Structure 1
Amino acid sequence: MTIREEKPVIAALVGLGWWGRKMASLVNAGGAKMHFVRGVDPNPDAATFAAEMGLQYSQDIAEALADPTIEAIVLATPHSLHRDQIARVVAARKHVFCEKPLDLTKAGAQASVDLCRDAGLVLGMGHERRFEPPIAAVLEAAQSHKLGRLLQIEANFSHDKFLVLDPSNWRLKADQAPAGGMTATGIHLTDLSVKLMGPAADVRVVCENLASSIPQGDTMSAHIRFAGGGTAYISATLATPFISRFAVFGTDGWIEVRDKAHVEAPDGWVVTEGWKNQPITVRELPPAEPVRDNLRAFAKAIRGEAGYPITGEDMINNIALLEAIVRSAKSGTLEQV
């Protein structure tokens, strides 16, 4: 009988910006089966936050990679850095959790997934939407065929948080965050869509700049067809107050999930369901912390307690779709995935 280790995973957090601080605060509060001991950020101003969290601070990832006590690296860094950073983490024989998107190309995603798989290391992904209780219930209803044959997905994840960012912020660089809000929010919706419907076949995108000076556009919608049949409509806007809605329709029923607040500060969900020969129901669910729960799933996979639920195939299929969405946002035409 194998005795599993119960100690938390010792980790370093690379990137102490907005989202890195969210993760650090959650892990610091407990319940993630993980303990951050080091914070890394090239901006020296981050040293103050690191000290508040009780973290050793460094400006370069090299010190974290050289530390033999650190088992895992959590990357909350710009997308353009992910591939090189993952390769360096794997070379240091450490597990890696990467914020979304994994990459901007299918080839890059494939390379990172293969590196981790071949090295026997866990690769985690910042798709916390899967860990929201009502979304997890949607995935289960689909897997158990309770929804019947899946037909269509309608989803919107939008906000106006970026309108106040300094123009120099990497999130406002069209080459690093292309296609409107796609890499900020839409990537979560496509992750859920390919998980439910399988690999995408093609996509047509409209991406416009209607209400801001955001270089990559502020209003994006994508119509996706899947190789196995079915469609999805995805919208990710950067110039409207927060909304997050995910709805899936099947032959035996449909479920719509609406977030009451951004996942940065969860406030619960409103779930509306319609089932064949039954009245439509509406219920509210209390808040949860899916960001923490995703990190906990990553830690449990490292300890061998459970497989990590987001597979390498899922990651690659999602980035393949993202790459086609970016092409279609530029061309305005139907693009093959």
Structure 2
Amino acid sequence: MQQKNQGPVHIAAIGLGWWGRKIVAALDGEEATVKVVCGVDPDPSAAVFCEGRFPMLESYEAALARDDVEAVVLATPHALHEKQIELAVDAGKHVFCEKPLAMTKKGAERAVRLCRDAGLVLGMGHERRFEPPVADMLVAAQEGRLGRIVQVEANFSHDKFLSLAASNWRLNAEQAPAAGMTATGIHLTDLAVRLMGPARDVRVACENLASEFPQGDTLSAHIRFENGGTAYVSASLATPFVSRFAVFGTKGWMDIRDKAHVESPSGWVVTSSSAGQAITVSEVGPAEPVRDNLVAFARAIRGQSYAITGEEMIDNIALLEAIIRAARTGQVETVA
């Protein structure tokens, strides 16, 4: 498909539930860079949401057929992603996919390969990378200011799903297995893989302690990496919101805590120290990482680089696949 060389990237919002509507709202005021031109969702309430914003189409295929759609943003159930990405590539559309990209390493490899071979940009809904203190942490690690990274400790939990109807796909053990892993924990493993490289193996405890969720409500994973080092990641669907990501290196460490869920971000508290220096505590003001990730995706379509590589996407899904397997077996599982 012939691409525009300038102007805003026109996108179709596919899936306008809780998170799809958050994405649309986050893009308000960004029309100079990225503009939503249509939406698709089977829920009649989505048409009310779209009214006055953009037209609501009857199907995904109808969105793909529009000449003014350059890219699709998939905020859809996990099991649909692989086929939807294939259809988008066939139509010559760039793809921004909410996490997880796929449920297996094989599926992730195919999605990355399809987009790459077609010369299309593949973006991922890992907005944690675009939180200002997290972005600073990643730069500090890349530049060697933290020294050799030896360990990660992280928790991302909330109780937002306790009010969902039992029929909601997010509470389907096949669609969203391993407690909060596909909802929240996958963001933490994305950052851990970015910092420490491909994982080697993982052991998981997944329990149902405070709900009737069929996939369990509380998970912890202990991960070892091919290049050495470990990560401890936890994700619960039964506690009030908490989000913490801490990285420890031989020259310094950083501990980043969100003040509120990324749905309505209100800033971060950062505790850190370098070798021989006192521990410091600072606050970072509010930002909108969901918007910033989508803007970065649009800019990548216009020729700039995108922060998340295809190899990192694949490595993260390989780890997710092993975590899901380990949650069922209770054994140490090798990452493919």
- TM-score (norm: length of structure 2): 0.97
* 1:336 to 2:334 alignment: yes
Match of 2:73 in 1: 74
Over 3 Å counting, the alpha-carbon distance change for 1:268 and 1:150 in structure 2 is same
1:126-275 maps to which residues of 2 (within 5 A)?
126-275=125-274
Distance in 2 of aligned mates of 1:200 and 1:158: 22
Aligned-partner SS, 1:215:
coil
- Alpha-carbon RMSD across the aligned residues, in angstroms, is 1.0
Aligned-partner SS, 1:29:
coil
Match of 1:8 in 2: 8
Aligned-partner SS, 2:28:
helix
Match of 2:44 in 1: 44
* Deviation by residue 1:87-119 (Cα, 9 ceiling, x = unmatched): 000000010100000011000000000000000
> How far has the Cα of 1:59 moved from its partner?
3.0
Match of 1:21 in 2: 21
Distance in 1 of aligned mates of 2:32 and 2:170: 27
Instruction: Give me the identity figure in percent.
Output: 65
> How far has the Cα of 1:5 moved from its partner?
3.7
* Deviation by residue 1:244-293 (Cα, 9 ceiling, x = unmatched): 00000000110000000000000000000011111000000000000000
Whether the 8 Å CA contact 1:32–1:295 is kept in 2: the answer is no
In structure 2, give the amino acid aligned to 1:327: R
Whether the 8 Å CA contact 1:100–1:125 is kept in 2: the answer is yes
In structure 2, give the amino acid aligned to 1:38: C
* Deviation by residue 1:197-236 (Cα, 9 ceiling, x = unmatched): 0000000000000000011000100000000000000000
> How far has the Cα of 1:26 moved from its partner?
1.4
Over 3 Å counting, the alpha-carbon distance change for 1:245 and 1:115 in structure 2 is same
Over 3 Å counting, the alpha-carbon distance change for 1:32 and 1:285 in structure 2 is farther
Aligned-partner SS, 1:88:
helix
Aligned residue pairs total: 332
Q: Which runs of 4+ in 1 moved over 6 A?
A: none
* Deviation by residue 1:155-195 (Cα, 9 ceiling, x = unmatched): 00000000000100000000000000000000000000000
Distance in 2 of aligned mates of 1:227 and 1:173: 32
* Deviation by residue 1:99-142 (Cα, 9 ceiling, x = unmatched): 00001100000000000000000000000000000000110111
In structure 1, give the amino acid aligned to 2:23: M
> How far has the Cα of 1:43 moved from its partner?
1.6
Which sections of structure 1, spanning at least 5 residues, go unmatched? none
> How far has the Cα of 1:45 moved from its partner?
2.2
Aligned-partner SS, 1:264:
coil
Aligned-partner SS, 1:247:
strand
* Deviation by residue 1:59-82 (Cα, 9 ceiling, x = unmatched): 310111000111111100000000
Moved more, 76-85 or 58-67: 58-67
Distance in 2 of aligned mates of 1:30 and 1:11: 12
Whether the 8 Å CA contact 2:157–2:241 is kept in 1: the answer is yes
> How far has the Cα of 1:58 moved from its partner?
1.5
Whether the 8 Å CA contact 1:23–1:292 is kept in 2: the answer is yes
Whether the 8 Å CA contact 1:31–1:292 is kept in 2: the answer is no
In structure 1, give the amino acid aligned to 2:66: D
Match of 2:293 in 1: 294
Distance in 2 of aligned mates of 1:324 and 1:307: 30
In structure 2, give the amino acid aligned to 1:206: A
In structure 1, give the amino acid aligned to 2:300: A
Distance in 2 of aligned mates of 1:195 and 1:26: 25
Distance in 1 of aligned mates of 2:240 and 2:46: 29
> How far has the Cα of 1:33 moved from its partner?
1.3
Moved more, 26-35 or 210-219: 26-35
Aligned-partner SS, 1:309:
coil
In structure 1, give the amino acid aligned to 2:325: R
